[in-house]
A and B are shown apart, each in its own frame.
Chain A
Amino acid sequence: MGSNFRWKLLSLIVLVGLSIYALYPTIRYYSMSEPQRKAMDPKALGDLRADALKLGLDLQGGMHLVLELDRSALRDEEVPEAMARAIEIMRNRVDRFGVAEPSIQRQGTDRMLIELPGLLDKDRAINLVGQTALLEFKLVKNDQDGHRALERLDRVLAAKQTAGAPADTELIGLTHPLTELMPYWPDLPYGGSFVPEADIPKAKALLTSVNADSILPIDAQVLWGKTSEIYQGTSGRILYVLDRRPQLTGRGLASAVRRVGGDATRPNAASVSITLNAEGTRVFRRVTAQNIGRLLAIVLDDQVASAPRIKERIPTAQASITGSFTDEEAKDLATVLQAGALPAPVTIIQEMTVGASLGSDSVRRGTNAALIGAAIVVLFMLVYYRGSGLVAVVALFFNMLFLFAALAGMRGTLTLPGIAGLALVVGMAVDANVLIFERIREEMAAGKKLRGAIDAGFNRAFRAIFDSNVTTMISAGVLWWIASGPIQGFATTLFIGVLANLYTAVMISRMIFDVYVSRPGVEKLSI
């Protein structure tokens, strides 16, 4: 045991010290009771929690969403900026949602990964992140223009149905594919055409079949009401004909808050009250002054939330969005309006939700399976290699210590596949010791003395151990590169575990053997 040994010992002490330092927040956080956590300063607790090893969404429950930005209306060079803005807006929305540690990461050029840990209302979360929240104020066309627009659609639809007959044949005037779905036509209740609930899918299909907005005059468009209305006992929705150009957009908004009782007809319903900024107020004042008697629609994501009639010039900077909101829906709508509209719509292209009970079930099962597997491995090594087996088990302990410390230090998360990875690492970690021990046995059987056999065992086995660990790290690396979420946790665990194994199985067990054989008179080895 020369200076070489001292350096090895020093490296071990340093590594163990670093590991304890990396693991300290984890141990402290998870050993604290709930009252102790409550008693702690929230900021310090937050810092502690951030440094502690976290459980993945598959273990603590939560949502994992991948959103894709719709690039169809954007030029390629606009995408990076739109994406940066979308992420910022999304962060504002999600921060107000009330989960402990939301995370938003960009993926590629036009995707983002949103992780919402903990128990939550799935539909509410999807609604919050999924809407564009494009708020616009648009004037509804007057009755005459509205009639004309729908009649025009009727004519084109009829022409299409009579298989390409010229648009001015007499027959066409006789069928009304669209307006026949409107029982009160030509009345315009609430300023639009009423379509009963049952006919809505048919009406929507008709409108998309001819790309309605392309047929209407350039300054007009049709939009549906956001919520159902009851008219003369029937439930249905209103189809509005509006100006295509908005008078005012969400940019004119200063703030949005939830309010109860904003709607005179539904006194107990929640609504969202919006306050305009200086620019918005100015525009609003002008528009209301010039259009007294007309309907001003509040349009949210291309759906008409409401269309109140302008009774007089409105000088104040207040407006409200009403509808059959629940309290939470109103609160979320206020949140998304406040955060601003996304530069382009987003689609949820991937979703993974894990309920809290499945998560805790996975923790329990995964831990049990890993512990039982590890126990069998330990038992096997002790029975098969006796004293040397104990050396392997000590090396295994350090392997696990370094693995957990590295995971905690890298602020990694522990996932269910990660736990499976831990179990596999246990099985693989002892391989290196098996190779060494088998070689020592062989050298001893060939007649070598104890020290010579140990030297030869370690030296000759090293190459195979190194190659084996490197190949496993190659596949773990490739897997890490393609995987995301829980499976990436598996790849990380496997990679670090096998890397640490090179040190623990070779260096640490060698040190123990060296200490053992350095005592005078030792000529036998329990192996």
Chain B
Amino acid sequence: MFKLIPETHIDFMGKRRIFYILSISVTLIGVVSYILHGGFKYGIDFSGGRLIEIRTSTPLPVDHVRAAAADAGFAAAEIQRSGQGDIFLIRIPVASDQKGGALSPSAVLRQDLAARNPGLTVELLREENIGAKVGKEIRNQAFWAILLAWGLLLIYVAIRFEFWFGVGAVVATIHDILMTLTLLSLLGREITMPVIAALLTLAGYSINDTIIVFDRIREELVKLRREPLINVMNISINRTLSRTMITVLTVLFTSSMLLVFGGPVIRDFAIAITFGMAVGTYSSVFVASALALDIRRGREMKTPA
């Protein structure tokens, strides 16, 4: 039998204050980063705007593309060069509602580039345009969706376990999402719809590890009636540690491959999900169980038997 993690007897619950401090510090870093960056950097699907990605037949200096963009009337465009210097991502912060009959910005840009560089062909890889109104709608929807998911998860875990376990589990997923947002903010990545998809998946999945631990605590509580709650929790966490690790490991195998090989279109998604999954495992042990313990203890002290 091959075992990744030997039998452990770690006093997780006794050290929970250290982890509270750690989690709160990271959250504070996130808040500071959020303030310093002036809020989240939203992708155009949330802020409204236009995104054009083109590939040129030969590499071009980024200045050429910038000048062409300015000529086409997009002086405020943000331009990223990638590939072998032949792929350009042009982000125009202002949405432009396009009526029929007018030439699209990408067409203007491509014509302009081709005119400046004889012999050059410019291929449109993708173009997205989202009106400011729609962007705001999508942003609101994403916000409500996350709240709704939290609410439903809280109800489900509360029904299956008990209310305070549900609170612990949901606070843990809130924690995971905050940590992931902190990382995205520090890396300067954008919040886009795929990132929201990753955050929602995370909320549903990272609660799994918590469920594994809680399920075990429930079982051990029956078996070890004489033991104090804190010991029961420690035993449960130690006994489920290897499966908690292995289940998240298998998901990390696939999500990290998406990150490495999946290409730029799903990179933000892969970053969010890979990092969030790892944090989720940490939080199910150090946040969810610890909170459930502290909340229950507090209540027990208030209502002496």
Chain B residue at minimal CB-CB distance from A303: B101
**Do B134 and A426 touch (CB < 8 A)?**
no
**Interface flag for A479 (CB, 8 Å):** yes
**Interface flag for B208 (CB, 8 Å):** yes
**Chain A residues within 8 Å of B125, by CB:** 354-355, 357-358
**Interface flag for A204 (CB, 8 Å):** no
**Chain B residues within 8 Å of A277, by CB:** none
**Chain A residues within 8 Å of B1, by CB:** 441, 527
Question: A350-B130, A352-B128, A373-B257 are known contacts. Are A420 and B207 too (CB-CB below 8 A)?
Answer: no
**Chain A residues within 8 Å of B131, by CB:** 347, 349-350
Q: In the bound complex, what is the Cα–Cα distance between A369 and B250 (angstroms)? A: 14
Distance (whole angstroms) from the CB of B248 to the closest CB of chain A: 9
Residues 452-481 of chain A, each 1 if its beta carbon lies under 8 Å from chain B, else 0: 000000001001100110111111101101
Distance (whole angstroms) from the CB of B205 to the closest CB of chain A: 5
**Do B134 and A349 touch (CB < 8 A)?**
yes
**Do A370 and B201 touch (CB < 8 A)?**
no
Q: In the bound complex, what is the Cα–Cα distance between A330 and B256 (angstroms)? A: 51
Which of B134, B156, B246, B262 sits near A438, CB closer than 8 Å? B246
**Chain B residues within 8 Å of A476, by CB:** 200-201, 204
Residues 326-363 of chain A, each 1 if its beta carbon lies under 8 Å from chain B, else 0: 00000000000000000000011111111101100110
**Chain A residues within 8 Å of B124, by CB:** 122, 353, 355
**Do A427 and B252 touch (CB < 8 A)?**
yes
**Do B100 and A128 touch (CB < 8 A)?**
yes
**Do A491 and B242 touch (CB < 8 A)?**
no
**Interface flag for B65 (CB, 8 Å):** no
Question: A358-B125, A468-B212 are known contacts. Are A129 and B97 too (CB-CB below 8 A)?
Answer: no
**Interface flag for A219 (CB, 8 Å):** no
Q: Of the 9-residue stretches A36-44, A169-177, A238-246, A376-384, which lies at the interface with chain B?
A: A376-384
**Do B100 and A127 touch (CB < 8 A)?**
yes
Give residues 238-280 of B contacting A (CB, 8 Å). Answer: 239, 242-243, 246-247, 249-258, 260-263, 265-266, 269-270, 273
**Do B211 and A467 touch (CB < 8 A)?**
yes
**Interface flag for A14 (CB, 8 Å):** no
**Chain A residues within 8 Å of B98, by CB:** 126, 130, 348, 351
Which of A369, A435, A478, A487 sits near B247, CB closer than 8 Å? A435
**Do A361 and B263 touch (CB < 8 A)?**
yes
**Do B253 and A376 touch (CB < 8 A)?**
yes
Q: In the bound complex, what is the Cα–Cα distance between A525 and B97 (angstroms)? A: 65
**Chain A residues within 8 Å of B183, by CB:** none
Q: How many A-B residue pairs have CB under 8 A?
A: 229
**Interface flag for A94 (CB, 8 Å):** no
**Do B257 and A369 touch (CB < 8 A)?**
yes
Q: In the bound complex, what is the Cα–Cα distance between A97 and B139 (angstroms)? A: 34
**Interface flag for A372 (CB, 8 Å):** yes
**Interface flag for B55 (CB, 8 Å):** yes
**Interface flag for B162 (CB, 8 Å):** no
**Chain A residues within 8 Å of B60, by CB:** none
**Do A435 and B243 touch (CB < 8 A)?**
yes
Q: In the bound complex, what is the Cα–Cα distance between A59 and B152 (angstroms)? A: 33
**Do A368 and B261 touch (CB < 8 A)?**
yes
**Chain A residues within 8 Å of B99, by CB:** 130-131, 347-348
**Do B194 and A366 touch (CB < 8 A)?**
no
Q: In the bound complex, what is the Cα–Cα distance between A131 and B101 (angstroms)? A: 7
Q: Of the 9-residue stretches B15-23, B25-33, B102-110, B293-301, which lies at the interface with chain A?
A: B102-110
Q: Count the A residues whose beta carbon is within 8 Å of the partner chain — how many?
A: 77
**Do A369 and B212 touch (CB < 8 A)?**
no
Q: In the bound complex, what is the Cα–Cα distance between A470 and B160 (angstroms)? A: 11
**Do A430 and B265 touch (CB < 8 A)?**
no
**Interface flag for A482 (CB, 8 Å):** yes
**Do A423 and B107 touch (CB < 8 A)?**
no
Q: Count the B residues whose beta carbon is within 8 Å of the partner chain — how many?
A: 75
**Do B123 and A357 touch (CB < 8 A)?**
yes
Distance (whole angstroms) from the CB of A121 to the closest CB of chain B: 10
Q: In the bound complex, what is the Cα–Cα distance between A483 and B100 (angstroms)? A: 27
**Do A417 and B194 touch (CB < 8 A)?**
yes
**Do A366 and B53 touch (CB < 8 A)?**
no
Distance (whole angstroms) from the CB of A519 to the closest CB of chain B: 22
Q: In the bound complex, what is the Cα–Cα distance between A352 and B45 (angstroms)? A: 10
Q: Of the 9-residue stretches B72-80, B113-121, B142-150, which lies at the interface with chain A?
A: B142-150
**Chain A residues within 8 Å of B249, by CB:** 380
**Do A384 and B2 touch (CB < 8 A)?**
yes
**Interface flag for B133 (CB, 8 Å):** yes
Q: In the bound complex, what is the Cα–Cα distance between A381 and B262 (angstroms)? A: 23
Distance (whole angstroms) from the CB of B111 to the closest CB of chain A: 11
**Chain B residues within 8 Å of A450, by CB:** none
Chain A residue at minimal CB-CB distance from B259: A369
**Chain A residues within 8 Å of B230, by CB:** none
**Do B273 and A424 touch (CB < 8 A)?**
yes
**Do B215 and A416 touch (CB < 8 A)?**
no
Q: In the bound complex, what is the Cα–Cα distance between A303 and B208 (angstroms)? A: 61
**Chain A residues within 8 Å of B37, by CB:** none
**Chain A residues within 8 Å of B263, by CB:** 361-362, 365-366, 369
**Interface flag for A153 (CB, 8 Å):** no
Question: A122-B104, A490-B197 are known contacts. Are A376 and B126 too (CB-CB below 8 A)?
Answer: no
Which of A380, A438, A471, A482 sits near B253, CB closer than 8 Å? A380
Which of A130, A365, A428, A490 sits near B262, CB closer than 8 Å? A365
Question: A348-B97, A384-B4 are known contacts. Are A377 and B253 too (CB-CB below 8 A)?
Answer: yes
**Do B257 and A434 touch (CB < 8 A)?**
no
Binding site for B on A (CB under 8 A): 58, 66, 122-123, 126-132, 301, 347-355, 357-358, 361-362, 365-366, 368-370, 372-374, 376-377, 380-381, 383-384, 386, 416-417, 420, 423-424, 426-428, 430-431, 434-435, 438, 441-442, 460, 463-464, 467-468, 470-476, 478-479, 481-483, 487, 490-491, 494, 527
Q: What are 17 residue pairs bridging A and B, where the CB atoms are less than 8 Å apart in the complex?
A: A122-B106, A123-B103, A349-B97, A351-B98, A354-B126, A358-B53, A376-B254, A380-B250, A416-B265, A417-B194, A423-B255, A423-B258, A426-B254, A427-B252, A434-B243, A438-B242, A467-B157
Binding site for A on B (CB under 8 A): 1-2, 4, 53, 55, 97-101, 103-104, 106-107, 123-131, 133-134, 141-142, 144-145, 148-149, 152-153, 156-157, 160, 193-194, 196-197, 200-201, 203-205, 207-208, 211-212, 215, 219, 239, 242-243, 246-247, 249-258, 260-263, 265-266, 269-270, 273
Other A-B pairs, 19, CB within 8 Å; known A58-B265, A369-B262 = A122-B107, A128-B100, A129-B100, A130-B100, A349-B134, A353-B127, A358-B126, A370-B257, A373-B255, A373-B256, A386-B2, A420-B262, A427-B250, A427-B253, A431-B247, A434-B247, A470-B156, A475-B149, A482-B144
